């Protein structure tokens, strides 16, 4: 697991509460909780905790393309109930101690489907409702521009500074998300389920890892998408270290259709973590291998599963790290892509441009660290502090060069709209690229976790020259019986 370093990459004073407050200890299966009830109560040390966030399933207003906000008129469609049931199966192995949920019908129903027959308590918290959008609520998205003109354009293009009816909805949302965390973290539980909505779940993730309102729509939340945050207490009693273990694990493939922030992606980068190698302990998936070894049998299986997942995409290019496991994984993807063309109507083989990029090789950087490489290799909480400052800076500078090179290639005049670039490398290289995409500082390297064989998807709705949207991170469902379960203990 990877954890938040002592200094937040964006806003250290806002990354998470510096103390947690214990809610009323009275227990019922259903009860209503207001965040204000957490005030003026004693502090409590936070135990190790995993928080699993789920967005509700497809609703009638989702299907109609209508702006919902915090209104409570829409309900789950049949598809939405099916999505919730798939999420229930994904989370069946987790012994959740509590479920916090928005009381709005679409979220409440999703929570009840996922919660099933569990006897543990379910807490309804109105602060977990969807973003308040005032006059926009109920309007069809396709009619928004015609009805609201400049205000609707502002909502689409600059939501952080968008105002309506005397309110700044996104700013209010961020404040509300922060107010939810004390009750969630103070609950005497190790595993917490939170079922809510698209915008509030974005805000919960963002405020946990220290991102401000400008990151609204940068962290996608699909219907019934599952995101996981791990909180590890510090020995000095300070605020917990925070790790986004995964973002937006969806019931369906993250590569299928859909939009990012209401817009179709013009270009896409898929980050593929190479298959597991012989040097890696199967009990603890390595993040930063410092030995260049080929994949073991599990790694070979993982690479084939990745290639199958990408089969329906037309991959325009593959860029890989020069380490052996990355080259082998890239080769598996390339072979399946090129063979797939022969299965089409025209039976014309695809040609996939493949090249190596030295900037994706982190081995030489990490080997220069004077700290204990065994600790670094297994990536335990606080791993970033185990690296010398020089090594962290070198890693960060190298990833910055890699990110710029990838964007330049994706922006090349010869590339076509809809092109997909696959980037294969070790997990730590991709963690660095995600942090670069979000324009974090080098301390942001401690915010994310990736497993061998996982994929992460970055969309560019406005092209590679503009801000990327993280569609998902650490997606592993394609690995089938070999996947890393969402319910794996923190």
In angstroms, the Cα distances linking 378 to 319, 375, 418 are 25, 6, 37
Query: SS3 of 474, please?
Result: strand
Q: How many alpha carbons fall within 13 Å on the CB side of residue 305?
A: 24
Distance (Å, whole) CA 164 – CA 461: 25
Tokens of 290: 């410092």
Residues 6 or more apart from 78 whose CB is under 8 A from it? none
Distance (Å, whole) CA 288 – CA 384: 11
What are the DSSP E strand ranges found in 225-280?
226-232, 241-249, 267-273
Residue 157 is among the residues annotated as catalytic for this protein: no
Distance (Å, whole) CA 440 – CA 442: 7
Residue 197: closest CA among 95, 90, 125: 125
Q: Are 66 and 90 in contact (CB under 8 A)?
A: no
DSSP bridge pairs for 458: 269, 470
Catalytic residue among 130, 328, 409, 443: 130
- For the chain, the C-alpha Rg in angstroms (whole number) is 22
Catalytic residue among 56, 197, 274, 449: 56
Query: SS3 of 191, please?
Result: strand
Query: SS3 of 78, please?
Result: helix
Residues with active-site annotation: 56, 130
């Amino acid at each position: 697991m990877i954890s938040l370093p002592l200094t937040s990459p964006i806003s250290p004073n806002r990354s998470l509460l510096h103390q947690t407050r214990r809610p009323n200890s009275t227990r019922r299966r259903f009860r209503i909780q207001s965040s204000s009830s957490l005030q003026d109560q004693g502090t409590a040390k936070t135990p190790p905790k995993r928080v699993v966030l789920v967005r509700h399933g497809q609703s009638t207003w989702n299907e109609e393309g209508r702006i919902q906000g915090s209104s409570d008129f829409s309900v789950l469609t049949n598809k939405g109930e099916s999505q919730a049931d798939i999420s229930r199966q994904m989370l069946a192995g987790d012994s959740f101690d509590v479920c916090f949920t928005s009381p709005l019908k679409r979220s409440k129903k999703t929570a009840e489907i996922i919660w099933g027959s569990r006897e543990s308590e379910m807490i309804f918290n109105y602060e977990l409702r969807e973003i308040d959008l005032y006059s926009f609520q109920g309007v069809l998205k396709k009619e928004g521009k015609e009805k609201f003109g400049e205000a609707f354009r502002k909502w689409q293009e600059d939501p952080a500074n968008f105002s309506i009816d005397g309110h700044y909805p996104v700013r209010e949302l961020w404040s509300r998300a922060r107010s939810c965390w004390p009750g969630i973290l103070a609950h005497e539980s190790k595993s917490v389920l939170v079922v809510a909505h698209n915008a509030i779940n974005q805000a919960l993730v963002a405020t946990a890892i220290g991102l401000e309102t400008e990151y609204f729509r940068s962290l996608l939340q699909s219907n019934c998408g599952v995101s996981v945050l791990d909180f590890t207490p510090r020995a000095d009693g300070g605020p917990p270290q925070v790790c986004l273990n995964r973002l937006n694990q969806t019931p369906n493939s993250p590569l299928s259709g859909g939009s990012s922030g209401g817009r179709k992606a013009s270009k896409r980068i898929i980050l593929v973590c190479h298959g597991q190698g012989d040097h890696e302990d199967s009990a603890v998936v390595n993040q930063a291998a410092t030995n260049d070894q080929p994949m073991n049998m599990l790694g070979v299986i993982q690479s084939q599963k990745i290639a199958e997942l990408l089969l329906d995409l037309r991959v325009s290019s593959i860029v890989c790290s020069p380490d052996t496991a990355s080259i082998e994984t890239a080769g598996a993807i390339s072979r399946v892509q090129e063979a797939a063309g022969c299965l089409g109507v025209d039976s014309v083989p695809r040609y996939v441009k493949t090249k190596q990029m030295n900037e994706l090789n982190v081995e030489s950087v990490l080997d220069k660290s004077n700290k204990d490489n065994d600790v670094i290799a297994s990536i335990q909480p606080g791993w970033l502090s185990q690296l010398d400052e020089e090594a962290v800076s070198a890693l960060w500078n190298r990833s910055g060069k890699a990110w710029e090179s990838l964007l330049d290639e994706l922006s090349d005049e010869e590339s076509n709209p809809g092109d997909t670039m696959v980037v294969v490398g070790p997990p730590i290289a991709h963690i660095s690229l995600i942090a670069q995409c979000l324009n974090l500082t080098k301390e942001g390297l401690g915010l994310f976790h990736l497993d061998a064989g996982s994929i992460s998807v970055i969309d560019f709705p406005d092209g590679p020259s503009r801000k990327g949207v993280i569609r998902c991170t650490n997606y592993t469902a394609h690995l089938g019986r070999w996947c890393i379960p969402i319910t794996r203990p923190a």
